[in-house]
Structure formats: C-alpha cells, structure tokens
Amino acid sequence: EKELKKIEKDIIVLDKKLSNKNFIDKAPSEVIEKDSQRKKFLSEKQARLRIHLETVNIALP
C-alpha cells in the first residue's frame, strides 16, 4: 500500500506537468516523451499492484 501511494503521487505530479501548456511548449520533445512513458509505466504498475492487493486481501480474511 505504501508503494501504491507513492506511485499515485508520482502519477499526479507527472499528470500536472504534462497538462501544463508552458511545460509542453518549452520542454524538449525527449523530456515530454520520457515523462509520458514514465506515466504510462506507473499507471500499469499501479493497476498490477491494486490487483495484487485485492488478491491478498481476499486470501487473508
């Protein structure tokens, strides 16, 4: 759960950054692509962790 919270926080930060027009206009395309890929990776990891936590919570009453 601790790791899940950190991932959620990181996704929020990246989301704000990537939706900031000023950042998008000034940042090199490589940086934007790197941040976009990181957000995608973290979102996928978040989904896997949630499934894992649900499985553990079901297995341990």
Where exactly are the structural domains of the chain?
Answer: 2-59
CATH fold for the domain made of 2-59: Helix Hairpins (1.10.287)
Q: 3-state class of 59 per DSSP?
A: helix
How far is it, in rounded angstroms, from Cα 53 to Cα 61? 13
CA separation for the pair 23, 5 (Å, rounded): 25
> Which pLDDT belongs to residue 10?
98
If you average pLDDT over every residue of the chain, what do you get? 95
User: C-alpha 9: how far from its chain's center?
Assistant: 8
Cβ contacts of 39 within 8 Å, gap of 6 or more: 11, 14, 15, 18
pTM of the model: 0.84
Q: Is pLDDT of 44 > 90?
A: yes
At residue 61, the pLDDT reads 64
